Amino acid sequence: MLEPLNEGFLSRISDLLLCRWTCRHCCQKCYESSCCQSSEDEVEILGPFPAQTPPWLLASRSSDKDGNSVHTASEVPLTPRTNSPDRRCSSSDTSKSTYSLTRRISSLDSRRPSSPLIDIKPIEFGVLSAKKEPIQPSVLRRTYTPDDYFRKFEPRLYSLGSNSDDVDFLTDAEILSKYQLGMLHFSTQYDLLHNHLTVRVIEARDLPPPISHDGARQDMAHSNPYVKICLLPDQKNSKQTGVKRKTQKPVFEERYTFEIPFLEAQRRTLLLTVLDFDKFSRHCVIGKVAVPLCEVDLVKGGHWWKALIPSSQNEVELGELLLSLNYLPSAGRLNVDVIRAKQLLQTDVSQGSDPFVKIQLVHGLKLVKTKKTSFLRGTIDPFYNESFSFKVPQEELENASLVFTVFGHNMKSSNDFIGRIVIGQYSSGPSESNHWRRMLSAHRTAVEQWHSLRSRAECDRVSPASLEVT
């Protein structure tokens, strides 16, 4: 019968079972080793958190630091050895039982999936550099109260009495009381069968008295109103009513159609501008009405009375002119085609205008030649399709200028000036200069371009050639 195991052997077995740190190279001979290698062997972590280090491992490490020799299991006996036969038998049985226990532990360890090896190194915390930078005190920020934020607002920018044209929040009665520009009656209807929008200008009322900008107006008691209609953002394809003489309550009753798809019409804004005609002065803008067509039922249609609001466009457009230029170097000929004009300023109250175009060739500052088209009666959108040719040698081409002036024909008095442009050496604007450069770079090829007409004063200010013609 075996002797009971001593307490030292039981304590080491319990430490071996409770220890969560095992050496990789001494698993089979853990009992024979008195301690685990602390620095050379790899350490395997068997759980998410390491357990407390066994006391026998700490004792072994402390003994290494003190310079003591490491004893193995063969040098440090677990039990006192004697030469008696009973002691030998007891020691042999103990070795066998211990070896079987070690084999069981090794088999369990081989069945367990291997865990990753982690090289644990000590982490040192300290100052990265010897020089310490002084810590700046944090700046104390001012705490704002709600009253401080409201002091930043400027009430005048949000008041209805500001100079902005934002009148979306005003009723028609408030707009009429504020601006006193009168009201306009009109209607809209979209025809899905023919894909066009019909705008009917019916009447206006309570229009203000006329304003003279240059003192040349004779009748200061009555206006000569007419209405210009366009679908923004396209202001070129506009329509305009006839002029109603000497009245502040004009009745128009005129219809105009715009060929436009239904979906595109819903993206447009209907702009109606009421103007005051004056034969001896420039026309004045009385007011305007802007209606986004997405806000109305175009198919059902409807009519409205809308109060006029001020317009930022004080200058009235004089119209546009389509020209074609071509130069033949071999023949030394400058060919000019006057194709058409559109939306010319109306010069006659009763029958619109009888427009024609005068073309004048200026060499340097000297008038050389004058030609003109025929006049077309009662229209502001004339089609001419007339060609003219001027003899200009190639060496004189760079000093040449063409002055185009649109007049309204008048049988009883002098012709009425409508607008002017200058193309060539002394061009009246960037558009005219661009047309001249394109013509010079494209010999023997006609170059067409639309031009917006300018006032006589504007042309005289920027082009010396305009001063040389009448």
The per-residue pLDDT for 353 is: 76
The full set of domains in the chain, from first to last, is: 168-213+220-307 (2.60.40.150), 320-468 (2.60.40.150)
Torsion sign, CA atoms 262, 264, 269, 274: negative
The per-residue pLDDT for 253 is: 93
Closest CA to 188 of 287, 323, 296: 296
Distance (Å, whole) CA 317 – CA 406 = 13
The per-residue pLDDT for 319 is: 86
From first to last of its 470 residues, what are the pLDDT tens digits of the chain? 445 555 566 666 666 655 544 554 555 555 455 444 444 444 444 444 444 555 655 565 555 555 544 444 444 444 444 444 454 454 555 555 555 555 555 555 555 555 555 555 555 555 455 555 555 555 455 555 555 544 554 554 444 343 444 566 788 888 888 888 999 999 999 999 999 999 999 999 999 987 655 555 555 667 889 999 999 888 878 888 888 888 999 999 999 999 999 999 999 999 999 988 876 666 788 999 999 999 999 999 999 999 999 887 666 678 899 999 999 998 999 999 999 998 888 776 665 678 999 999 999 889 999 999 998 888 888 999 999 999 999 999 999 999 999 998 877 677 888 899 999 999 999 999 999 999 999 878 899 999 999 988 889 999 999 998 97
Distance (Å, whole) CA 3 – CA 97 = 12
Backbone angles phi, psi at 433, to 5 degrees: -65, -40
Sequential DSSP letters for 319-349:
-EEEEEEEEETTTTEEEEEEEEEESPPP-BT
Distance (Å, whole) CA 446 – CA 337 = 9
Closest CA to 9 of 51, 52, 56, 62: 56
The per-residue pLDDT for 231 is: 93
Structure tokens at 360: 């004048």
Closest CA to 407 of 360, 432, 372: 372
Backbone angles phi, psi at 105, to 5 degrees: -65, -40
Distance (Å, whole) CA 105 – CA 452 = 102
The per-residue pLDDT for 32 is: 52
Q: If you count DSSP H runs as helices and E runs as strands, how many of each does the chain have, helices first?
A: 10, 16
Task: Give the bridge partners for 366, in sequence order.
Answer: 363
Say which residue the tokens 């066998």 belong to. 96
Structure tokens at 407: 């007049």
Global confidence as pTM: 0.52
